[in-house]
Structure 1
C-alpha cells in the first residue's frame, strides 16, 4: 500500500491580510463593467440630474444608479430585486455602486420615473461618443423591426371588430323596439319622430331609450317579451355604449389592445408559445443600426413596419438634428408613402418593394404571364397592349386613400372587347372587359429603387443589411434571453428598450 498522499494548495479561510485588496483590484482589467463605467463617466447626464428636486432628503447618485442599471442589462440582470441582491453580493456591481446598497424600490423608481424624460438623451450621448471614436456612423444606417411581447395577459383583449358587431346588434335591437312602438301607437298624432339610427353613439342611445320609455310606459297592450326587452335596453345600453366609445378612443387606428396594458396591440409573433399561430400582446420595435450598434430606436403599437418609418425618421432628426444620408431596409418598408417621404427628405434609400426578390428570379414570370407588369405600355398613346394585341386606353384617374390616410392616384385602363377573346377567363377573372389599375407614381419610385438596389453599392448594401441589423435583434432575444418586457405602458417599455439599446452598444464596444 502506497504511503504517498495527494498534494493540495494551502487553504486558510480565516487568514488575515496585512493589506486587503481593493474592489478595483478584484475586477479584471478587460471586463465589460469597466467599459460601462468609463462611458457613463464620459457622457453628459445633465438631463438626468435635472429630474431631481433641490429640496428633500439626499438621494443615491443618479450616475451610480444608471451604471448599475446599464450593467444589469449588459449582464442579463433585468429584475430590480436581482439588481438589489447583486449590489450586495456581486463584486462588479459592488465596485460600480461604490459599496452602496440601493433597494429594489429605489432601483425600480429610478428606472420607471427618473429615466422617463432623461434616458433618450443618455442614449444619444452614448451614440455620439461612439461615433466620435469611429465605431459607428449616424449618416449611414440599416433599419428593421421586430415584435416583442408585452407584460400583459394574453387572453384579456378588446377587438375593434367585436365593438362594431355589438354596436350593430344594439342598433338593430333599438330599431326593432321602435318599430313595435310605432305599430301599437300609429293612431296617435303626438308620436315622437323616429330617431336616426344610421350610426349610434351614447347621446343617441340615451335619447332613443328615453323616447321608447315615454311611448310604451302607459300602453297596457305592450306584450311581456317587449317589456322585458325594453327593461334590458334601458338598464344596459347607455352604460355599454359609453364603454364602447371609451374603448374606441383607446384603440385609435389599431384593431385591438390588451386590457392589462392598453398600449400593447395583439400581433403575430415568430415565437409562438402555443404553436398554433395565436396572437399575443406586444410592441413593434424599430431600430436603425450601423456596424451592429444601435443608432436610433422607436416603439410602435402598430404591427406593420410600413407605417412606422415616418415616426422613426422624425426621431432620428430630433436626436441628431438631421436625417440619415442613406437608409437600407427590406420590403416591409417599400410603400409609395415611404418612398415619397425618403425622396422629400433627400435620403438615398436602398429599400426593396414587395415583388423585388421574386423579380430577381428568372422563373418568376411563368406563374403570372398576364399580370399588369407583363403588359406592354405605349407611352406615346398612353395605352397598354393586352396579350392578344388589343389596346387598353385610359378611362380616368381615381384617387384612393390607404389605411394610413395617404392619398394615391390610380389610372385605370380598359380593354375594348374581351367577349370572344380565346384568353377570356385566363387573362382575367372579372366579368366584362378587363380593367387594370396602375399607380404611375409608385412605378416611378419602384424603377428608381430597382436601379439603386442593383447597382454595385446597392448589392453591397443588401448584403450588409443581413448581417448588420438582424443580428442585433438575434443577440438581444436569443443570446441574452430578452423576449418579453417587464414593464407596462409605452413610456416604460421605451425606457426598458433604451436600456437594452445602450447595453447592446456597450457590449459591442467591449467585444
Structure 2
C-alpha cells in the first residue's frame, strides 16, 4: 500500500474549475473586487476608442492596483508577474495577463481619478458603520522623494553649475570642429552632422538648470533639480529630500484625509488637513486631536470660532509646566483677575495694564502688564532683573490656557491618548508594507500616490471588519 498521495503535475480536471474556487470566501481579493465594482469609471471609459484591439476594463486594472497597494506591491512589473503566478491576482484579472506597461500607463494616465476613488471608499466605510463623525486625529509622516539630495542646490550653486555646463558644451563643440577630418570614424554611416549624445545630455541639463533657476525666488532657497517640489525635510532618519505626507483618521482608524506637502512643519497644514478630511468624508468633526507640531495661536482661534473641541498642546506646554514648578515666580504663577484686568504676583502685588505693543519676535500684538511695587519688594531679585516686573500677554492667551486646562483634565488625558492611534497607521504602512519612499515626482503626483497607499490601508480595514 502506498504511503503518500500521488503527485501528478500534468493531471487534468474532469470538469474545468472556476478561478473563484481557489479564493477563500473571506479573502482580501474578494473585498477589493466588491469595492471596485461599485466605483463609477465612466469618466475613464470615455478616454477609450472603439477602434483597434479591445482594452482591459478600468475596473480590472483598478482591482489589480488596489490589491497591490493593500499588500505592499506597487511595481507594475511585479503586479504583471503576479497575474501569472498568484491566484488572487488571477481572480481579479479574470485570468487575463496585462503587460506591466499597460498597468503603469493606466496608473499614470488616471492619477486625477485617484482622489475620486479615495473619497468613494471613505463613503463605503461610512455605509458600513465606520469612519464615524466625532474625533479627527491629525499627523504627518515623512517619505523619501524620488530625487537625490545632492541635486538640491541654491541660486549660487546652480549658477556655478550652469557656468560649468556651458563651458563643457563649448569645449565639446570645439572638439567636434577639430575632429571634422575624423568624422567617418566618429559618426559611422550617419550624415556626420549629428550632435554627439553627450552634447545632447549637456544641453538638456542646461535647460533643466535654467528652469530651476527661474523658480528660485531668493538666494537661500534650495530647489531639487530632479523634483522641483521635493524639499530638504527632517525625518526620523535625518534630513533628506522628503515629502510631508499628511493623514487625518477617525477613531476607528479610517484615513479620511490624505495629501502630500513640501512644508517641513506640520503647523502650516493644520487647517488644510481638517478641511481636506471634511470635504472627503462629507462630515464635520467636533473634536480635533493633534500633537504640538500643529499648534499655534492662529489655529486655536480659527478652530475655536468653528466650535471645535481642541486637544492640541502648545509648543511650550511641557517645558513651562516644569519651569513653573521649579520657579514660584514663573509667569504662569501670576493669577489674572478679569474683573479688574490685572494680574497678581505670588506676593499678592498687582500688575496693571500699561500698553499694547508689537512683539517683533513672535510677530503678534501683546498686552504689557507692569508692577509698580517691585522696588519695595524683598523678593524682587528672584522675580525680575529689571526695576519692574513686566508680563507680555498675547491677546489670545486665555484660549491657550483654556486648552491647557482641558488637556490636563482626566477626560482630556483620555481623549488625547487617542492621538497614538495614527501612529499604528503609519506603523502598518511603513514597517509592515514597507512604504518608505515615493516613486512619483511633483506635489500632484505624489499626492495621488499617497492616496493610493491610503486606499490600500482603508480596504484592509474594511476586510478586517468583514472578518470580525
- Residues 282, 7 of structure 1: CA spacing in aligned structure 2 closer, same or farther, 3 A cutoff? same
Is 1:411 paired with 2:406? no
Verify the 8 A CA contact 2:112 2:448 in the aligned structure 1. no
Give matches, 1:45-84, under 5 Å.
Answer: 45-49=41-45, 52-54=47-49, 57=52, 58-84=54-80
User: What's the CA shift for 1:355?
Assistant: 4.0
Instruction: Give ranges in structure 2 of 5+ residues lacking alignment.
Output: 161-206
2:130 to 128, 132, 135: 135
Q: Which residue of 1 aligns with 2:201?
A: none
How far apart are the structure 2 equivalents of 1:297 and 1:402? 33
Verify the 8 A CA contact 1:47 1:121 in the aligned structure 2. no
- Deviation per CA, 1:36-59, whole angstroms, max 9, x where unpaired? 111111233445445x25576443
Verify the 8 A CA contact 2:212 2:228 in the aligned structure 1. no
How far apart are the structure 1 equivalents of 2:72 and 2:230? 24
User: What's the CA shift for 1:70?
Assistant: 0.7
- Residues 379, 15 of structure 1: CA spacing in aligned structure 2 closer, same or farther, 3 A cutoff? closer
2:403 to 449, 452, 459: 449
Q: Please, which moves more after superposition, 381-390 or 431-440?
A: 381-390
Q: Which residue of 2 aligns with 1:462?
A: 416
Verify the 8 A CA contact 1:148 1:283 in the aligned structure 2. yes
- Residues 348, 385 of structure 1: CA spacing in aligned structure 2 closer, same or farther, 3 A cutoff? closer
- Deviation per CA, 1:226-284, whole angstroms, max 9, x where unpaired? xxxxxxxxxxxxx9x988962434x89x96443221111211111x2xxxxx4111111
User: What's the CA shift for 1:12?
Assistant: 1.5
How far apart are the structure 2 equivalents of 1:479 and 1:470? 13
Verify the 8 A CA contact 1:285 1:297 in the aligned structure 2. yes
Verify the 8 A CA contact 1:410 1:438 in the aligned structure 2. yes
How far apart are the structure 1 equivalents of 2:105 and 2:390? 62
Verify the 8 A CA contact 1:70 1:499 in the aligned structure 2. yes
1:439 to 388, 391, 394: 394
1:153 to 148, 157, 162: 148
User: What's the CA shift for 1:450?
Assistant: 3.2
How far apart are the structure 1 equivalents of 2:330 and 2:44? 57
- Residues 282, 425 of structure 1: CA spacing in aligned structure 2 closer, same or farther, 3 A cutoff? farther
1:316 to 271, 277, 283: 277
Count, aligned residues: 415
User: What's the CA shift for 1:455?
Assistant: 5.1
- Residues 439, 63 of structure 1: CA spacing in aligned structure 2 closer, same or farther, 3 A cutoff? same
> Which structure has the bigger radius of gyration?
1
1:281 to 241, 246, 255: 241
2:295 to 334, 337, 359: 334
User: What's the CA shift for 1:64?
Assistant: 0.8
TM-score (norm 2): 0.78
How far apart are the structure 1 equivalents of 2:262 and 2:361? 18
Q: Which residue of 2 aligns with 1:209?
A: none
- Residues 488, 53 of structure 1: CA spacing in aligned structure 2 closer, same or farther, 3 A cutoff? same
Verify the 8 A CA contact 1:158 1:256 in the aligned structure 2. yes
SS at match of 2:150: coil
Verify the 8 A CA contact 2:324 2:332 in the aligned structure 1. no
User: What's the CA shift for 1:73?
Assistant: 0.9
Is 1:305 paired with 2:260? no
- Residues 117, 282 of structure 1: CA spacing in aligned structure 2 closer, same or farther, 3 A cutoff? same
Instruction: Give ranges in structure 1 of 5+ residues lacking alignment.
Output: 167-238, 273-277
- Residues 503, 242 of structure 1: CA spacing in aligned structure 2 closer, same or farther, 3 A cutoff? closer
How far apart are the structure 2 equivalents of 1:484 and 1:428? 51
How far apart are the structure 2 equivalents of 1:340 and 1:256? 33
Verify the 8 A CA contact 1:44 1:125 in the aligned structure 2. no
Q: Which residue of 1 aligns with 2:99?
A: 103
Q: Which residue of 2 aligns with 1:472?
A: 425
